[in-house]
Structure formats: structure tokens, C-alpha cells
Amino acid sequence: MNKSEQSMSAQNKAKRNDVAALAGVSGTTVSFVFSKKRFVSPELKERVIAAAKKLDYHPDMVAASLKKQFTNTIAVITNDITSPLQMEVIRALQTSAIEKDFFVNICGGTVKLENYISHIISRRVDGAFLSVPSNVIGNEIIEKMLNRNISIIVTSSRGFCDDRVCGLELDFYKGLDIIVEHLKGLGHTKIAYISCFDDNYVCDNRLNAFRKSMKNLLGQDDPVIITGKEPYESNIEQGIILTNELIASGKNFTAVICTNDLMALGAMRAFNKSGLSVPEDVSVVGIDDIEYSKVAFPALTTLSHCSKEYGNKIFEILYANITDKSIVGREKITPQLIIRESTADCKNLK
Amino acid sequence: MNKSEQSMSAQNKAKRNDVAALAGVSGTTVSFVFSKKRFVSPELKERVIAAAKKLDYHPDMVAASLKKQFTNTIAVITNDITSPLQMEVIRALQTSAIEKDFFVNICGGTVKLENYISHIISRRVDGAFLSVPSNVIGNEIIEKMLNRNISIIVTSSRGFCDDRVCGLELDFYKGLDIIVEHLKGLGHTKIAYISCFDDNYVCDNRLNAFRKSMKNLLGQDDPVIITGKEPYESNIEQGIILTNELIASGKNFTAVICTNDLMALGAMRAFNKSGLSVPEDVSVVGIDDIEYSKVAFPALTTLSHCSKEYGNKIFEILYANITDKSIVGREKITPQLIIRESTADCKNLK
DNA sequence: CCGAATATCTATAACATTATAATAAACCCG
DNA sequence: CGGGTTTATTATAATGTTATAGATATTCGG
């Protein structure tokens, strides 16, 4: 680096006191102009702003964070970063966050999530959104973060383990009521359910909700339920396998609800292959409203997470807790049914 | 806050000097134990580590950043955060980053991207990955960041505007050679191309590559090309519309390459509707390898971005530049053809 | 066995802010 | 007009690290 370059790069990092000197005020006054925490007379303010512009001054948030003990940063911890659903949530969350000058750090990837915790603590993150199943991050880790004054919000897939953690849950009980109501309205009463291996809070929750809805809305105590055999496998292939099993069972059904959209896409494919057309012969409903559901053929009727609303609310609740630890938000969102082409009137009572 | 709570929370933030006091060494030594920048004798090291564990000490990266003038943080600026493709890249990038103790801030959302810049400067981010078309962030903004000593890497969709910016480009010239070679190997010579409105670096680049490949590999100067009419519309619907146009044109073709996967999915649907089956009657190839392509029916043969490799390399190049500004990485990645079910031997020369 | 060289360790000064308390200026009303 | 009150500005002390230079102990050849 030669001399002129050196002087250039020196020129390029104006500090608060440089601005103060140029504006003919104290450094403190410059701070107050930017933080707006105290009144500064219009003339001084103007001079400061002009000086700051001239020097291209940007306040150093690192130094500010050190003193303020807040970093205006939250972390999103997720094990499923590539899921489009997850990303929609993160996008909405981030959009809300930036409005309050918060940055969002993503901690996903393929690294052991537990390893992130000490990074998160070291970086003095203000809050964290744990979007992971409860078996991935233990309660003692949450405890550790809480003791470090880090606000925490968890998703529906983990119970509320501590009075201090916030939560935003999707209400699948209401959601399944909506699905069953929709199918009932189309004349379906024989509704089967395809679930995954029951070792998983998410699936269990949905399945229990289905049982309750069938009982409350159709008076059925024992609806047809097919359950996966492999844990953590709830993809298209599983959907095909389980649907074939359902068909082979000889049970009566005119509609099928699947524990998630991938399973539902598999189900549609299986029905198609076995000569049953969707929705003419059988109606199919998914849960999640992943992007593929839109472009599937036929387009899938499914229960949407309302990702945007969800993401916005996640930040809103977390922000409130960061601001005041005594505000521990616990909310529920009702999912919304997106009616597309995979459900239709029940004509064929086979 | 009562006294016991106060003492609890005081207890919870052990500082370097607390550890030093407990271990009976100086604070400086504690620092060296953690930073590993100087030799510390095994006995002292052990005592320090024990003390740190006992006090649950986590070094404060905010303070460290202030002194070191590095934050170990990079920002990803993108306007298309929900795209699964983008996310795979980010995931890989983040996985590489955390291995070097770097955190990744995402700046996407629906906010005007320009607004992020001053945030990024204020936060003293070490580097930024600009994954946006060149019309979204102007060169003067890049200049500003460079002058602030922020490393920058850009994606293929923006030219290399300054000697100081790094780049990682996908080589679609090679990519289209691979596609055309594949189709040629299956006996196809009449290959049509469906492009979008030519006002877009990405599409142009791919189309030009197609032209060149057709000339070099098949000696054709004037292949059949259908171009979109609306700018920035390259989705399934456009794919359907343009494919219908292609069919109506009466031109001969046995295979179609589309500028991206969504268009290709639309093409398959349009062929299907008009009585042509894929791949029996016509082969279809996409570009991008988005997730839907896997689950489409038939599964789409497409050119993959190698998102994982791409993301890893993005960090690798950026990291090198952060470490040493004189290393300005400029690389190209050759995309990879994922052969699935939508391409087959050419039997039918219609 | 002594001075020089080497190997460890430590005291202190940045780093760029904010919060607090202190100062200076202006104002008000008897 | 002058003491108390309010209002606007500023000097100073944190904040928790790292880098640098200085201090102390250890080794070693002559």
C-alpha cells in the first residue's frame, strides 16, 4: 500500500469526533443528533448533519453495541434452511426486523445446531428464533441463553419449556376443523388420514387434531388412519407407499388428508397410477402450502401456514420481549385453507 | 429488579478479568488462551480453561470486533430470498462461513436494497455477497462499500464493475454445450429454445450460449427461438403461452430447451395438453434445477447450478479477499446436467 | 557465574461509542 | 435584578476486548 492509498483509506473512516470538529460542536452532541435521545437545537443539528454528510460518516454500531449492551441483532436457528416454507417466514421476519434496525443472522446449514449457541452468546445477540424440533436443542441450552439475557421465541414444534420463552404456534386444531368442514361441505364423510411415523411433535399434533375434528364435526370416533413406518420420512415416496397401502387395505374413503404437502403430492401420484383420478374419484388435501403445491397437477388444496403473517409476528413478539423482558408473548395463528384443484364434490361413494 | 435477581444477573456475565482473577493470571493471558496467538504454558492454559468453564465465560465478540476492526460477519444481499435456489446457495455459504467463525446476515426481504448499505457500513461487516441484478444496486454504492474496506463478491448476473470486486460466475456457454451434446447424443438435431424477453442479463447470456452451442456442435446458424413478450415474466404461465406459440408456428422440433425450469414445467404442461407426450414425442430440458423439477412428472432433465459448490466457493473467495485485499478471486463454475425423465431418444422426426 | 538472549507473562493504551454527571446559558417571577 | 429552575451543551468515565511494548523469569555460552 503506497502513501496516497494509505491516506485515502484513512480519509475513509470518519469518526464521531471528526464530525464534531468540523461542525464545531462536541462529540456528545453529534451522538445525540443521531440517536435522537436529547433535544439538539436546529442550527447545531443542521451543522452536524452537513458535516456528517461531507465526511460520509456512518456511526459505528460495533462500538455502540459494546456500550449499549444491545446489538440490534437476532439469530434464526433452523435445521431446515432450504425449505421454501421456512424461507418465507425468514423473509417476512427479516422485513419486519429491518424496520426496527435489526439484522438477522441465520444459523442453519449442516452444522450441529448446538455449536451455534456459544457463537450466539459471544456475539451478544439480542434474541433468537428457534425454529427446530425440541429434540435438537435441549432445555439446558435454552436456559443458558435465557440467563444471558437473550430473548427466545419458539415455534409450534416445541413445547413451552420455560415461562421466559415466547412462542408462536399454529393452531392445527382449528386448521383441521377447517379442512374437515371444507370436505364435509363437498359431501365427503369418509375421510382418511395419512400420517407419518408418530414420533414427532408436528405430526402427532396434526393427527390428534384430525381425530378431534372428525369426532366433533362428523361424529366419527375411529376414522381411517395410515401411519408411516419410518421416522423422519415424510416425503413424496412415503406418500406413494402409504397411499398404496391405503388402497390395498380395501377401506372406504372418498377424500384423503395428508400430514404434509409432500405426502399429498405422493398420494396424488399413487392414485393416478392406480387409475383413480384426483379430484374426480378422490379428493386430496395437504398441509403446509409449499411452493410445489401451486404448480402441482392438479394444484393441491392445502392448509397454509400464512408464512408472512407468521414471520412478522415472530419478530413482533421477540422485539417486545427484547424491549421488556416481562412481556412474554404467547400467541396462536389459525392456518388458512387454500382451495385449489385437488378437492371436489363427492359423487362417487365407492 | 430485587437484590437477588441483580446478583444473579451479575453472576451471569463473567468478563475476561473475572476469569483471570479466578485462574490467578493476567487478563492478557486469558485472551491469549482463547485467541491462540501466543504460546501459553500448559499449566496456565489449563487453569484458565477451568476458570472459564466454571464461570461460563464466553469472550465478547462485540468488544473484540471493536478493537480488531473485523466483525467476522458477512452480509448476503439478495432480492429473491424465497427462491429455493438462492437458499441452497446461502445454506452452503453459511455452512462454510461458520467453519471460520463467520456469521451471515441476510439482507433481503421486501425493503429497498439500497437502504441496507448504510446499515452494512455501520455494522462494519467484513464482506458482502451481492446476489442481485446489476440494475438494483448501482456502481457508486459498490464503490462506497469498497472504500469502507468491505470485500465484495458478485454473481454472474452483474458484470465485473471494478478491479476490486470478486466474482463467481456460472459458465452457461459450457452449460449449453453440455445440454446440446446430451440431446445430440439422443439423436436430436431439431432443437428449439424458449427464452424470456431479452432485457435481462441472465436470459441473454443463456440464449447467446445456446446460439453458440448450436453453431459449434450442430452447425446450425439459425435455430428456432421463441422469445417472451413481457419483461421479467418467466414463470409457468409464460412457459405454457410460449410453448403453444411454438406449436402453432408449425416449425419442426424434437426437443426444447427452456431458459429456466419454470418455463420448462410450463412447456411440459402445454405439450401434455396438446397431445404431445414428454419425453416420447418431445424432449424438454430446463435450466436451474429448482426443487420442483425433481418432483415434476415426468421429472425434468435440467442444468444444475451446483448450488452447494457455488455457495461454498462464494465464501471461499470472499474470505480470501477479506484476509488479503490483494487477492481478488474471479472464478467460473461449470453447471452440471441432471438427467431425469424428460429427455429420451429421438424416434419421431415429425 | 554473569551478561545476553530467549521465553513467558503482564500493564497499559487504544478501539468508537453511550450514559452520566457536570457546566453553562437562558428564563422566570417575586 | 437575582436566586432558583429549566434547557442546551459538554467533559469524562465506562463498555470488554486486542496489540504493543515492557517486565520478569529462564536458559546458555563463555
Ramachandran bin of B70, using left for φ above 0, alpha for ψ from -120 to 50, beta for the remaining angles: beta
* Residue B195: strand pairing partners: B227
How high is the pLDDT of residue B8? 41
Identify which of B59, B66, B176, B75 has the alpha carbon closest to the alpha carbon of residue B118: B75
Cell of B294: 425433481
Three-state helix/strand/coil letters over A210-235 = HHHHHHHHHCCCCCCEEECCCCCCCC
CB B1 within 8 A of CB B40: no
pLDDT of residue B232 exceeding 80, the answer is: no
Cβ contact, residue pair B292, A297, below 8 Å: no
Per CB-CB distance under 8 Å, the chain A contacts of B123 are: 61-62, 103
Residue B151 to residues A130, B124, B313, B315, B325: CA-CA distances in angstroms? 30, 11, 15, 11, 8
Q: Which of A60, A101, A236 sits opposite B124 (nearest CB)?
A: A60
Candidates A121, A236, A295; nearest CB to B265? A295
B144 touches chain A (CB under 8 A): yes
User: What per-residue confidence (pLDDT) applies to B111?
Assistant: 74
Indicate yes or no: CB of B9 within 8 angstroms of CB of A124. no
**C1' of D24 to CA of B48 (Å):** 20
Round to whole Å and give the CA distance between A243 and A247.
Answer: 6
Task: Yes or no: say if A147 and B12 are a contact pair by the CB < 8 Å rule.
Answer: yes
pTM: 0.86
Residue A9, CB, strand C, below 7 Å: no
Please give the helix or strand (H or E) that residue B337 lies within, else none.
strand B336-338
Separation in Å: C11 C1' and A345 CA: 83
C-alpha dist (Å) from residue A182 to A178, A179, A276: 6, 5, 21
For residue A26, give the nucleotide whose C1' atom is nearest its CA. D10
End-to-end CA distance of chain B: 83
Mutate which of A5, A7, A53, A82 to test chain B, going by most B C-beta atoms within 10 A? Answer: A82
In sequence order, what DSSP letters do the residues of A9-46 get, joined into one string? HHHT---HHHHHHHHTS-HHHHHHHHH--S---HHHHH
Mark residues 10-69 of chain B whose C-beta is closer than 7 A to nucleic acid strand C.
Answer: 25-29, 32, 38-41, 43-44, 63, 66-67, 69
pLDDT band at B159 (very low <50, low <70, confident <90, very high): low
Q: Determine if strand D comes within 7 Å of the CB of A23.
A: no
Would you say residue B95 has pLDDT above 70? yes
C-alpha cell at A289: 402450502
Q: Which pLDDT belongs to residue B23? A: 92
Q: What confidence tier does B9 reach under pLDDT thresholds 50, 70, 90?
A: very low
The model's confidence at residue B200, banded by pLDDT at 50, 70 and 90, is: confident
Has residue B21 got a pLDDT over 80? yes
H or E, element range at B192: strand B191-195
- Which nucleotides of strand D lie under 7 Å from a protein CB? 7-12, 14-20
What is the pairing mode between strands A283-288 and A255-258? parallel
- Distances in Å between the Cα of A192 and the Cα atoms of A184, A210, A211, A257, A258 are 13, 10, 11, 6, 9
Q: Note whether B71 contacts A: Cβ–Cβ < 8 A.
A: yes
Mean of the pLDDT values across residues B297-309? Answer: 92
Q: Is the pLDDT of residue A7 over 70?
A: no
Which of A106, A262, A273, A305 to mutate against chain B (most B CBs within 10 Å)?
A106
B66 Cβ contacts chain D strand, under 7 Å: yes
* CA of A221 vs chain B CAs: smallest distance (Å): 35
pLDDT digits (tens, 9 = 90+) for A292-344: 888 788 999 999 989 899 999 999 999 999 999 999 999 999 999 999 999 99
Name the band, by pLDDT with cuts 50, 70 and 90, for residue B121: very high
Instruction: Please provide the size of chain B in residues.
Output: 350
